[in-house]
Amino acid sequence: MNSAISRRVFLIGSAAGALNFRSRSASSASAPAFELVAREVDRSLVADPAVRSPTWLYNGSLPGPLLRAVKGQVVTVRFKNELSQPTSIHWHGIRLDNAMDGVPGLTQDPVQPGSSFEYRFQVPDAGTFWYHAHEQSWEQVARGLYGALIVDEEQVVLPPEQDISLVVDDWRLNSEGVLDTRSFGALSDWSHGGRMGNWLTVNGEPEKVFELQRGKWYRLRLINTCNARILALDPTRFRAQIIAYDGQTLAEPAEAPYAPLLLGPAQRMDLLFQAQDEFELEELSGPQPFPFVRFHVGGEANVATRRPEFVPADLPDPVLDDALQVRLEMAGGAMGKQVEMRYNGEVLEGEEVIEARQFWSFNGVANLAEAPLFTAQRGRSISLTIVNETAFPHAMHLHGHHFRVLSRSEASVDDGKPWRDTFLIGPSQTTHIAFVADNPGRWLLHCHMLEHAAAGMNTWFEVTA
């Protein structure tokens, strides 16, 4: 095995770096416009620059350029597809106009090779978001088509050097340290836990180091871009508090409700801490802690530094007494409950399941049904109960909206029931969420273990005006 990766090959991931564009307040800055080009790039994922992998990147950068705007601004992104496959871009967590959501077959046609598409949308909430390919995403995201989208507060809370984004990804490398492309689409990944990598990067680098100033406050934005891996982290190890989940700021900074915290695929978490002593950010799901980011702290302590304050968004709370009651039963996969499964209107039996590559179902339907899971008039509260009758955890993502997790069977919920756009549901677990369907359009609800979504875990709902 290549010596550059042998020490880390059993580990869970790596991370990616980003370009930083910081705007002024929304009232004084022009509307930000960006250009993104998706293309194939041979790039090293390991310490040896001569070991190249066939990645697919935005603007040749891993991760893609860090796009930055201010709350309330209208963002324009001119996108060109130079890949050999159709693709699109989803703006994960943004409560945007439905036509700009980037979901082929539901909100737009995929952007064909050599073609372009202009995305234009308002960013209503300050927070940590991200963007990624949403066509054949099980391959395109795994090859590197993603980036961070940061929406700043109208008044600057922290200067850029105290606002750090960590885009975390795991890669499946072969023994030579090259991206294992032969395993894309493996049926074992699609029917089990999804594609797991053996190599971790942060901001595109295998070992990331940051230099901090003692006594200063820092915001750490964590973004899990892994196809299927759930990261286990413990902010208490460096006295950090949680200030946001999935781009939505908490009313007050909070201590970790349990340790280690689980950060599922597509989830984000913002941490606030005051730099005191050198520390490492560790991934804790393995038999031993694995440090994947190091923070060096220098300079004299500044005891006069005040803790910064953040203002949460004003989202409408659901009215449960008048909520539309919806139930979603998840079935299938290896070792899970098997039910009669319909795909494209036909019942799949025996070998047809393997031929269609559809292993999972929502309410007995694999992939997008012709009819929506539900239809609601704009402003209607939705009470959604999700029952996981499979043997695996899932990261359920709701497009166009944020919700509160009200209850979980055999588990507690976070204090204050913070707003989320993605939640983890364990095997044989039932989770109850609620939200106000206040964004008109056809919206996706799916598992963000990307192989699970490709293999059946997609549904949609409609909000009428």
Sheet holding 419-420, edge to edge: 360-362, 324-332, 380-388, 430-437, 403-408, 419-420
CB 153 within 8 A of CB 310: yes
| ω into 260 cis (within 30 of 0) | yes
Identify the segments of the chain with pLDDT beneath 50: 1-28
How confident is the model at residue 20, as a pLDDT? 34
Amino acid at residue number 101: D
* Residues belonging to the chain: 465
For the record, the structure tokens of 76 come out as 């324009």
Per-residue pLDDT tens for 19-78?
333 334 444 456 899 999 999 999 999 999 999 999 999 999 999 999 999 999 999 999
How confident is the model at residue 29, as a pLDDT? 53
How confident is the model at residue 9, as a pLDDT? 34
How confident is the model at residue 45, as a pLDDT? 97
Rounded Cα distance, 31 and 417, in Å? 33
Task: Kindly list the structural domains of the chain, giving each domain's residue range(s) and its CATH number in brackets, ordered by start.
Answer: 15-156 (2.60.40.420), 320-464 (2.60.40.420)
